[in-house]
A and B are shown apart, each in its own frame.
Chain A
Amino acid sequence: DQQVKQNSPSLSVQEGRISILNCDYTNSMFDYFLWYKKYPAEGPTFLISISSIKDKNEDGRFTVFLNKSAKHLSLHIVPSQPGDSAVYFCAASGRAAGNKLTFGGGTRVLVKP
């Protein structure tokens, strides 16, 4: 029973173009969502987050969009850079879960120069 799903295991994009990563969730109790980036042999590092009271949050080249009615969020990276090549994890949490995170399976992004 996977409550957070990232249906695209991989994504390839040209440098300078937009990368769009998608994430779906099933638990309506989730009210906080995060994106993490992971390089090989390293732990996940926090990228950006969004609370359920918002539908958009922007930080530099990274923007997260939340569609609560569809239980869907997306991460936009624009422009994409070769250093953005990594695995990206979507994660969700809710007050009932304390601050335990439920992760998706990850999307591997390759940015081609």
Chain B
Amino acid sequence: EAGVTQFPSHSVIEKGQTVTLRCDPISGHDNLYWYRRVMGKEIKFLLHFVKESKQDESGMPNNRFLAERTGGTYSTLKVQPAELEDSGVYFCASSQAYYGYTFGSGTRLTVV
């Protein structure tokens, strides 16, 4: 089966611009998660979708971040406007079972 796909793999944008990251989960996985790793530190939870509903968005840093999951399939994470501290690697994961996460390869975001 195809894995979790994230696009783009890299993005370099200027401070104040908007960037949209996309995640295509494994087909049939109702659970979709966003995590990010900043400055080579720990990987931190951002939010969790169950189908199209936000189950837990406690990790979203502020209202510049907007996540959507259209029709319970792919998800997008928009950062608007981007700030320097938003730089990092954004990982998407999906699961069918409780802990059976499969992570994508990540999007490396650099804000300059």
Cβ–Cβ < 8 Å partners of A32 in chain B? 99
Question: Are B99 and A44 in touch, CB under 8 angstroms?
Answer: no
Q: A103-B43, A106-B40 are in contact. List 9 more A-B contacts (CB 8 A).
A: A32-B99, A36-B103, A42-B106, A43-B106, A46-B102, A99-B99, A100-B56, A101-B101, A103-B44
- Which B residues fall within an 8 A CB radius of A? 4, 9, 31, 33, 35, 40-45, 48, 55-56, 58-59, 91, 93, 95, 98-106
Query: Number of contact residues on A: which range applies?
Result: 20 to 34
Selected from B45, B101, B105, the residue in CB contact (under 8 A) with A46 is B101
- Which A residues fall within an 8 A CB radius of B? 2, 4, 32, 34, 36, 41-46, 49, 89, 91, 93, 98-106
Question: Are A101 and B45 in touch, CB under 8 angstroms?
Answer: yes
* A87 CB, min distance to chain B CBs, angstroms: 9
Question: Are B104 and A43 in touch, CB under 8 angstroms?
Answer: yes
Question: Are B104 and A4 in touch, CB under 8 angstroms?
Answer: no
Top 3 nearest A-B pairs by Cβ distance? A43-B103, A103-B43, A105-B42
CA–CA, A34 to B31, complex, Å? 18
CA–CA, A100 to B58, complex, Å? 10
Cβ–Cβ < 8 Å partners of B93 in chain A? 43
